[in-house]
Amino acid sequence: MSDDKTGPTQPIPNPKLTLSRKEAAVLLGISEKLLWTKTKASRIPHIRIGGRVLYPRENLERWLEDQASRSVK
């Protein structure tokens, strides 16, 4: 018998500060291939830690807002 009295399971917000390539592509609604092409060209915010390439969530969100505002000018 479980002592868990939290009720229905609620989604846990993603507390991660950075996203993997797959997660970033999903967040942006683009393919991993397009994301990687933009990453290699330094056209999308990313960081390298060791051998990994990560995408800071807040930077991606700001970048996306900036791209959207440029398209309406």
Cα dihedral across residues 35, 41, 42, 48: positive or negative:
positive
Decide if 46 contacts 53 (C-beta within 8 A). yes
pLDDT exceeds cutoff 60 at 2? no
pLDDT attached to residue 8: 64
Question: Domain spans of the chain?
Answer: 18-71
Q: How large a percentage of the chain has pLDDT more than 70?
A: 79
Q: Quick one: average pLDDT of 48-56?
A: 96
* Model pLDDT, residue 6: 58
18-71: CATH, from 1.10.150, 1.10.10, 1.10.3470, 1.10.1060 = 1.10.10
Q: Looking at the predicted structure, is the pLDDT value of residue 71 above 90?
A: no
Phi and psi at residue 52, to the nearest 5°:
-95, 145
Q: What is the pLDDT averaged over residues 44-71?
A: 94
DSSP state for residue 15 in the 8-state scheme:
-
